[in-house]
Structure 1
């Protein structure tokens, strides 16, 4: 039986009641879900001229990892910010076009170059393979900033759900390995903690939902197998040190599994002397603003996130203008 938990926002609750929900996830269900294609990116770009190209980047084992690059067509040749996007899907499903409408809003709003990575998925690939795929793509972006028309002082790492957790892991890797400079990380309802033991994990177990505690356990088991040696880059909530991270945006809903681990991550960034902005949207279920972007709460959440990113990118551009472009170390180690 599901434990008492915060109610859904009325509008979102009504929308949720119209779709079939699951309680658990298994290999058969996963195989069926993987057959559902992502909407074409062009759906979200009507009226906005964009150059799109596909490249591949060599992973640590030599596998070619696809990247989709969306570059706004413009007469101005000044270097633009870049959003490096990591999709959601529990690390077991989705592709580089999943939830792509979110970063494409920033392409339109800021003229940002959007790069989305098609990291390999569990259970076929496990452990640090997924986060390392994402990191390799980020290194490639930084190394090719001039070619992409990207300002290396304004590279943002962003992701939703599993992609938010991977974005956090990539940011930790960049800090620890002396990798690309990241001006900000945007973590939307991020999947950060493999332990699945928080109050919100228990509150959203035992019943159907968008993402339940049982589904979360399946996903993490798919990624980790029986391993007890869990890297902080895979499960960022286990990192002992959250200092020296770029300014961070974290949001989630009150009515979702990841609520408590997300709040704790922001709290620990503050405790380490870092800067994080946290929004916990009352009545929001997991990924509510991605699933129902036209709902009033979703509109508010997306607008707030975009406004924050606009302030961060504007400040970075101003600092660069005043101080000159800094040197940026890039390492593929």
Structure 2
């Protein structure tokens, strides 16, 4: 399929042009170590530096993983002074299922802890291809169960917990919300899905428009799904779990309210729009925002841009509303 891509916002395009090129027209599992190494070009500040002199305490914990699997590392950020049970934010990091770590979203979470008086938990899940499906989503679900069971000790109101994540983390957040529904697990107040990675089929128009351009390109997405699902990627629905690829879910009813966001100039745009539309069709609640001219991860790479300021304010507004702040 040959399609003309939606143009990037001119200012964002200049940011994109300054970023190092890491992808190619074809990638194999042998490229995963190189892509992980390339990600280190954007170092994550230490948690102590992220927190700084703000009234936030950071704690590193080890919690139970899924049955028969290793324990999980989590980072907890909480207001230093909690006078009542606080909202909870349960975060899963991005990285295409093949890279990333729980500390990379620390700045985003610290801002929300400060703004909302919330307690945030960020989980370290196992990565593909070393740990293919269902390891990543089961790790994330186990961390949510731990958070819900330990809500009192964490200072969290168990009725006001939102699962969240960007890119692969957004896909995992959607998968965890489906698991919580289907297993009668923790009740969730919402799911904050930021440019989520939802569909292993890669058949939408936008999945073809960004074949060779943008921060997360078609070849990288195909690799991520291949690493997670092996030869099941893109195959028949019976072979692909909806918890790994939430776009495959046949039933999107009875889910917590969703916030779905993407850029107009990224390959996840169409699958994210379709996911929100299917939640509406099932009688559910979804708020959808497509930011004109924005590429995948625009808020991370262009923190000072006007579209980023608008996106951050819009996310915060939605969180305040679902958490009844």
Shorter-chain TM-score bucket reads over 0.9
Deviation at 1:46, TM superposition (A): 2.8
Query: Aligned partners of 1:28, 1:50: CA distance in 2, in Å?
Result: 34
1:256 aligns with 2:266: yes
Deviation at 1:35, TM superposition (A): 4.7
2:15 touches 2:301 (CA, 8 Å); kept in 1? no
Equivalent residue for 2:16? 16
What's the TM-score, normalizing by structure 1? 0.90
Deviation at 1:161, TM superposition (A): 0.3
| The 10-residue stretch of structure 1 (31-40 or 212-221) with the greater mean CA deviation from structure 2 | 31-40
Among 71, 79, 82, the residue aligned to 1:72: 79
Query: Aligned partners of 1:7, 1:98: CA distance in 2, in Å?
Result: 28
Deviation at 1:62, TM superposition (A): 3.0
Query: Aligned partners of 1:64, 1:35: CA distance in 2, in Å?
Result: 25
1:22 touches 1:208 (CA, 8 Å); kept in 2? no
Deviation at 1:40, TM superposition (A): 1.9
CA RMSD of aligned residues (A): 1.6
Query: Aligned partners of 2:2, 2:79: CA distance in 1, in Å?
Result: 46
Among 182, 192, 199, the residue aligned to 1:193: 199
Equivalent residue for 1:59? 65
Equivalent residue for 1:287? 297
Query: SS where residue 258 of structure 2 aligns?
Result: strand
Equivalent residue for 1:246? 256
Among 27, 44, 49, the residue aligned to 2:32: 27
Equivalent residue for 1:211? 216
Deviation at 1:34, TM superposition (A): 5.5
Deviations 1:70-96 (CA, angstroms, capped at 9, x unpaired): 11101x420000100100000100000
What's the TM-score, normalizing by structure 2? 0.92
Equivalent residue for 1:123? 129
Query: Aligned partners of 1:62, 1:85: CA distance in 2, in Å?
Result: 20
1:83 touches 1:155 (CA, 8 Å); kept in 2? yes
Among 112, 135, 141, the residue aligned to 2:141: 135
1:23 touches 1:209 (CA, 8 Å); kept in 2? no
Query: Aligned partners of 1:86, 1:127: CA distance in 2, in Å?
Result: 15
Among 226, 246, 270, the residue aligned to 2:280: 270
1:49 aligns with 2:59: no
| The 10-residue stretch of structure 1 (48-57 or 293-302) with the greater mean CA deviation from structure 2 | 48-57
Query: Aligned partners of 2:32, 2:279: CA distance in 1, in Å?
Result: 36
Among 230, 234, 246, the residue aligned to 1:236: 246
Number of residue equivalences = 313
1:102 touches 1:290 (CA, 8 Å); kept in 2? no
| The 10-residue stretch of structure 1 (91-100 or 275-284) with the greater mean CA deviation from structure 2 | 91-100
Query: SS where residue 105 of structure 2 aligns?
Result: coil
Equivalent residue for 2:180? 174
1:21 touches 1:208 (CA, 8 Å); kept in 2? no
Structure 1 unaligned regions, length at least 5: 316-333
| The 10-residue stretch of structure 1 (26-35 or 184-193) with the greater mean CA deviation from structure 2 | 26-35
1:242 touches 1:272 (CA, 8 Å); kept in 2? yes
Query: Aligned partners of 1:33, 1:114: CA distance in 2, in Å?
Result: 28
1:9 touches 1:284 (CA, 8 Å); kept in 2? yes
Query: Aligned partners of 2:106, 2:222: CA distance in 1, in Å?
Result: 26
